[in-house]
Structure 1
Amino acid sequence: MTRENLADASTTLESAADETGDDDAAERLASLADQLDTLATRDRDPDHGRLARIENALNDLEDTDVGDSVESAHESVVAFRETVEGV
């Protein structure tokens, strides 16, 4: 199964981290980008719980100055999560 959506979300969040003027948000965005990059390249798919935690973190960051980018990344995570079997 392709994890292109997770890789896209990671790239989007990396750019958002560079563009934001909020240091705390930049750190959180960069951390989420790293997590998504790892999930996109590892051997097995992430579970729904891990993806849900990432989505919650993205929800918290949608009110930042880079909210449009965060929302775009969130949509990519949701698109991938719809392909994961289970709950």
Structure 2
Amino acid sequence: MPDPDLLTAARDSIETARERTDGELDDRLASIADRLESAVDAGRTLDHGTLARLQNALSEIEAEIDDGDEIATARDRLSTYREDVAGV
């Protein structure tokens, strides 16, 4: 069973990154953070497809900002979470 604390930690990293973004990038990060928070609040496990899309979106955003450390941290936490998701 994947650890929902990893989703919460990823969301927290994204929220920290949002402090250094605005406009479209901030909107995209807010959307990802909201999806993670909703999953945790509902007790849902995110599937591989959803996680892959979120990780890809984070990679795209990371490439567009100067300091992407928090984005990389969030992406890594999603990768760790994904290791325990059933299926492939």
- Give the structure-2-normalised TM-score: 0.88
Root mean square deviation of aligned Cα: 1.3
- Percent identical across equivalent pairs? 40
Q: Deviations over 1:31-77 (max 9, x none)?
A: 11111111223233111111111011011011212411100100000
- Residues paired across the two proteins, number: 86
1:12 and 2:13 matched: yes
CA contact (8 A) 1:3 1:41 kept: no
1:44 is paired with a residue whose SS is coil
Q: Is the CA contact 1:55–1:74 (under 8 Å) kept in the aligned structure 2?
A: yes
Which ranges of structure 1 fall in alignment gaps of 5 or more residues? none
TM-score by length of 1: 0.88
- Residue 23 of structure 1 deviates from its aligned partner by 1.7
* Runs of 4+ that moved beyond 4 A: none
